[in-house]
Amino acid sequence: MGLILFFIIFGATFALGYPIAFGMIMGGFAYFITSGMDLGIFLDIMAIELRAQDVLLAVPMFIFAANVMNDTEITDRLFGFLKQLLGGVRGGLAYANIGASIIFAGMSGSEIADVSGLGTIEIKAMMDDGYDGPFSCAVTCASATISPLIPPSIPMVIYAMLTGTSLGYLFLAGIVPGLFLGFIEAGMALYLSKKRNYPKGQRYPLKVIARSFVRSFPALLAPVILLAGIYGGIFTPTESAAVLAAYSILVSIFIYRTLGLKKLRKIMLKTVYNVGAISFMIAGAFVVKYVLAREEIPLLLTNAFVDMGLLSSAWVLLLSVNVLFFILGMFFDVSVIQLVIIPIVFPLVRAAGIDPVHFGIVTTFNLMLALDTPPYGQTGFITSAISKTPVGKVFKEMLKYWIPIEVMGLVIITYWSDFVLWLPRLLGYAH
């Protein structure tokens, strides 16, 4: 009865449009009451479990750093340099868009931060130079899917917390797939730019490009410091978030001189709001995880998959999970899917012998791809609002050109595990 009531409340939350954290917590509360359990355990699960996850300390720091970069001139200077470097060739601003997303990925760890912050600059520049709105939006959405693959990555932090997988090796595993996706997206941009005869931008003298490089150098240095610090043993992946946050503040105050107390207060309030929403969801997820474990749902699901023969083939299981995540991503928030579904399917993944680092990269990219897919696709709505382009045209452009490219990338990442794991293995990963 308690489990039935839990699922009723949880499902009603989705149907009525309430915050998902509310459904998790209230569903768990109803489960504890009807099961006659001590409510002290209920509170302990949310508070103590949340406090015990040291890896989650990275999340507010990455969010804060991304907000600082978007609200100061760091992202402006970054894109400005790439615009001057690549703008003189046909489709140059599309390449600059993709390149900026790859670099910004090494500083924000969030696709939404990329689209809403850097995307505003990119879309305006592209449309001012003669690119049409749907193409500008589609390039921005597609390139932003790279952000959570290249470290740092907030979705990888959450995955590591849920599964106990090494965050450092997850960060390493995302680098090569992220760069590869940027390469094939640039190839599509080249094809479309020539086919549609998009304009060439202004060609800048070498002296101007060099000055722009010097101005943007502090921004370009951030991902280098991050990766060198993590894999040089100077600080942990979690500590890297604090280093990045401190670095973004110092650059904004002392080099670009664009961050004052008033703006810093505004950024901190925005960060607190974002972190508060995520923290409630994660606390609720611990309750869901406890309920599912107590009712042995993962074990029952594993046995069902064994009976159907799905665990005999890792390929079939990966296909099934990919389809499940992709469909759910079309309707629900990425964080919700991670927090609710991964604890259920991860035991199946382990039983099938699938490497947890490989699976983490697969699910991370799958869920980022879902952000580009209607009807829920947040990136499409955000870029539509930025560009004043009808959202239907944005999704049509993405579905026609960009989604097939990204699905091809997902297939390669899913079924070529050595492609994902060779860099972690090179640096000592063994499973």
Per residue in 363-403, pLDDT (tens digit) is 999 888 877 777 667 778 788 888 888 888 888 888 887 77
Burial zone of 415 (CB within 10 Å; 0-12 exposed, 13-18 middle, 19+ buried):
middle
Cα-based torsion angle of the residue sequence 173, 178, 184, 189 in order, rounded to the nearest 10 degrees: 180
Please tell me the distance from the alpha carbon of residue 289 to that of residue 304, in angstroms, as a whole number. Answer: 19
pLDDT in tens, 19-41: 777 777 888 888 888 888 877 87
Output the pLDDT for position 50.
62
pLDDT in tens, 319-342: 888 888 887 777 666 777 787 788
In the predicted structure, residue 361 carries a pLDDT above the cut 90: yes
Q: At 197, list the tokens.
A: 């005869």
Output the pLDDT for position 380.
80
In the predicted structure, residue 351 carries a pLDDT above the cut 60: yes
Mean pLDDT computed over 53-72: 76
* Gyration radius of the chain over CA positions: 22
Burial zone of 4 (CB within 10 Å; 0-12 exposed, 13-18 middle, 19+ buried):
exposed
Question: pLDDT tier at 108 (50, 70, 90 boundaries)?
Answer: low
- Degrees, nearest 5: CA angle 165-326-336: 60
Helix and strand totals (H; E) in the chain: 22, 0
In the predicted structure, residue 225 carries a pLDDT above the cut 90: no
One-character DSSP codes across 263-275: HHHHHHHHHHHHH
How many C-beta atoms surround the C-beta of residue 14 within 10 A?
A: 13
Distance between the two ends of the chain, CA-based, in angstroms? 41
Q: Give the count of alpha carbons within 13 A of 94, CB side only.
A: 31
Entry pTM: 0.81
In the predicted structure, residue 195 carries a pLDDT above the cut 80: yes
